[in-house]
A = this chain, B = another copy of it.
Amino acid sequence: MKKKSTITIYDLAKELNVSPSTVSRALNDHYSIGKKTIKTIKKLAKDRGYSINSVAASLRKQQTNNIGVLVSWIKRPFQSSLISGMEEAARESGYNVLISQSHDKYDHEIENTNAFYDSRICGLVVSLAMETTDYKHLERFIDNGTPVVFVDRIPGHLDGYKVVINNFESAMKATLHLVEQGCRRIAYFGGTENQVIYAERKRGYIEALKLSGLPIDESIILHGDNLSADEGVKWTTYLLGLDNPPDGIFSTNDTAAVSAIQYAKSVGKRIPEDLAIIGFNNDPLCLIIDPPLSTVHHPAFDMGKLAVEQIIRIMEAEETIPVQTIMLETEVIIRASSLRKKPLD
């Protein structure tokens, strides 16, 4: 592919009989350039269809305006909302967003971060792959001064900027809700405990049972690789085949919860009378399944937006901003899949 020659600040400078520096400064609204000069130059730039070469500017400034985003699966509703928020925040401030997906594989994560590193991204937002338990590939960015913000799937033992929800409390509230609805034997669907969010959610689940004086039964605490619909079906099959099956399920995502509803219904269980179910995330499918799925609303879009805003704040700040964790509120959304008692009033 051939590129046609494009217009540069030299061309503009020549045409106006000023120096390229003046043009550069004018286009960047430098204080030392006269209002009128700026106007003239910008007008010509527009007329000539001038477009700044960001690549050259980035090289000179040793700073691009590309923010790297690493998630596990773009097509998951939660993550696409996250990305959507990031894209909006970035664009508002004049940054681009580079996307890559790890497919929850550690190796992919490494390769993708390396590609980002070569591209000299100016900031990185990461939601870790399920497999990831060490962070050397990310420390590299921090070491060279590129801000990294972790979002949702954060590292267990690494200081850093983080944007999260209160997983412990959310899980506890969701579980307590089931207890309030009369559940006495509640199963748990979770991801690998290597991941902080799942460890925390499990902790919240356990805490809720303890608070309610209910026994903890490891045999109905299930951990999976991906919390897919398949896993949901597999687990529900197992649970309903037990001698004393559970009367409630707290699932740490909606996909598995929905498939649990579908399977349970298919074998004649009534939801929520026989089995009350609550999920996590508030994906659109919660409102499609019958009965509608109770869940924990996860502010994915806001999280993405905040994460990028945080990156930008760090980059543009004069002095170092101390490492901090932003924790967003969640909300337990009660729908028919868990509502066994009518509201009191």
With A3-B63, A98-B98 as given contacts, are A81 and B75 in contact (CB-CB < 8 Å)? yes
B3 touching A145, Cβ below 8 Å: yes
Number of residues on chain A facing chain B (CB within 8 A): 63
B55 touching A117, Cβ below 8 Å: no
- Bound CA–CA A330/B3 (angstroms): 36
- In whole Å, how far is A69's beta carbon from the nearest beta carbon of chain B? 8
- Bound CA–CA A99/B315 (angstroms): 21
B-side contacts of A75, CB under 8 Å: 77, 80-81, 83-84
B98 touching A143, Cβ below 8 Å: no
B-contacting residues, A249-305, CB 8 Å: 258, 262, 284-285, 288-290
Q: Is A74 positioned at the interface, with any CB of B under 8 Å from its CB?
A: yes
A258 touching B97, Cβ below 8 Å: no
A97 touching B96, Cβ below 8 Å: no
A97 touching B99, Cβ below 8 Å: yes
- As a 0/1 sequence over residues 198 to 238 of chain A, the CB contacts with chain B under 8 angstroms (1 = contact) are 00000000000000000000000000000000000000000
Q: Is A17 positioned at the interface, with any CB of B under 8 Å from its CB?
A: no
Q: Is A147 positioned at the interface, with any CB of B under 8 Å from its CB?
A: yes
B-side contacts of A119, CB under 8 Å: 54-55, 65-66, 96
| Residues of A in contact with B (beta carbons under 8 Å apart) | 1-4, 6, 49, 51-56, 58-59, 62-66, 73-77, 80-81, 83-84, 87-88, 91, 94, 96-101, 111-112, 114-120, 140, 143-147, 258, 262, 284-285, 288-290, 314-315, 317
Can you list 28 contacts pairing A with B, beta carbon distance less than 8 Å?
A1-B147, A4-B145, A51-B114, A52-B118, A53-B59, A53-B118, A54-B118, A55-B58, A55-B64, A55-B120, A56-B59, A66-B98, A73-B84, A74-B80, A75-B77, A75-B80, A91-B100, A91-B115, A96-B119, A97-B99, A97-B100, A98-B99, A258-B288, A288-B288, A288-B289, A289-B289, A289-B290, A290-B290
